[in-house]
Amino acid sequence: MLFFSKKPSPPDYSVLHTDMHAHLLPGIDDGSPDLDTSIELIRSLQELGFSKLITTPHVMGDMYPNSPSIIRERLTAVQQALIRQEISQELDAAAEYFLDEVMERRIRDNEPLLTLPGKRVLCEFSMLTPTMGVKEMIFEMQMQGYQVIIAHPERYVYLGSNKGFYEELKDMGCLFQLNLLALTPHYGKTVSALAAYLIKKGYYDLVGTDLHNHRHAELLRDPKIGEGLKRVMDQCNIRNSAL
């Protein structure tokens, strides 16, 4: 008699309720290239258990010069496509702002930013080299009433030799957002090690897929992520369900 072991199930992300970091709007950044792909990626996140999706397209200098009006226009297009296809899905949009000279000027001019609920603004900076003026830009945003979320802090690998910068950001009141794929070898051993360090410190406040494509959607089905996510939920005060 042959015995077959049961194939492990993919993680159930319903415990998070909301995916607050994904690139689902068509043709607007390095995420979904077209409307059909946007719908397919949204379906994949539904299948994984997410109830609410907040898409966060890049806003990055001349590379992705996305304004709130551009983002809202693409959001409406996706929402209307969901209605036409009779897909029930709560979908909203914020943005992932790259902290550079362009963003510094935007902050100085007090331009309105697209935010997550609670006037929370998702920000990233260079993953290759330290960025000058990050704390100053964060402070200015805080003075304008924003709460800053640092996107995927585990991916700034140069902070492995300067972990004190994490403490400085937390002391400033920043929230930290974990990329789920950092719980796998996807980004490399250094990123996984930094994620483990930040989990142990209890520094994460939010979790996101940072979904860009079908490959990411498939990787998110790795059962091992469920084990890592349980550690995150046990050791950190994760706030996704409040979004």
pLDDT digit string (tens) for 6-18? 677 889 999 999 9
Rounded mean pLDDT of 122-136?
95
pLDDT surpassing 70 at residue 1: no
Residue 234 within a domain: yes
pLDDT surpassing 70 at residue 110: yes
Question: What pLDDT, on the 0 to 100 scale, is given for residue 222?
Answer: 96
Residue type, 82: L
Question: What pLDDT, on the 0 to 100 scale, is given for residue 8?
Answer: 79
Tokens at 138, concatenated: 């964060």
Q: 52 has which bridge partners?
A: 18, 90
pLDDT surpassing 60 at residue 4: no
CATH number at residue 223: 3.20.20.140
- The 3-state DSSP composition of the chain as helix, strand, coil percent (nearest 5) reads 45, 15, 40
Rounded mean pLDDT of 162-174?
98
Rounded mean pLDDT of 155-174?
97
Determine if the pTM surpasses 0.75. yes
Question: What pLDDT, on the 0 to 100 scale, is given for residue 2?
Answer: 52
Whether the CB-CB separation of 233 and 14 falls below 8 Å is answered with no
What band does 243 get if pLDDT is binned at 50, 70 and 90? very high
130 C-beta neighbours (distance < 10 Å), count: 12
Residue 48 within a domain: yes
What band does 63 get if pLDDT is binned at 50, 70 and 90? very high
Residue 138 within a domain: yes
Question: What is the DSSP secondary structure assignment for residue 187, as one 8-state letter?
Answer: G
Residue 165 within a domain: yes
pLDDT surpassing 70 at residue 5: no
Residue 1 within a domain: no
- Overall domain count for the chain: 1
What band does 197 get if pLDDT is binned at 50, 70 and 90? very high
Question: What is the DSSP secondary structure assignment for residue 135, as one 8-state letter?
Answer: H
Rounded mean pLDDT of 63-67?
96
pLDDT surpassing 90 at residue 152: yes
Residue 55 within a domain: yes
Residue 170 within a domain: yes
Note down the domain range covering 109.
13-242
Residue 6 within a domain: no
**Least reliable range by pLDDT among 6-20, 96-110, 134-148:** 6-20
From the list 66, 55, 156, 149, the residue with the least C-alpha distance to 103 is 66
The average confidence (pLDDT) of the chain is 96
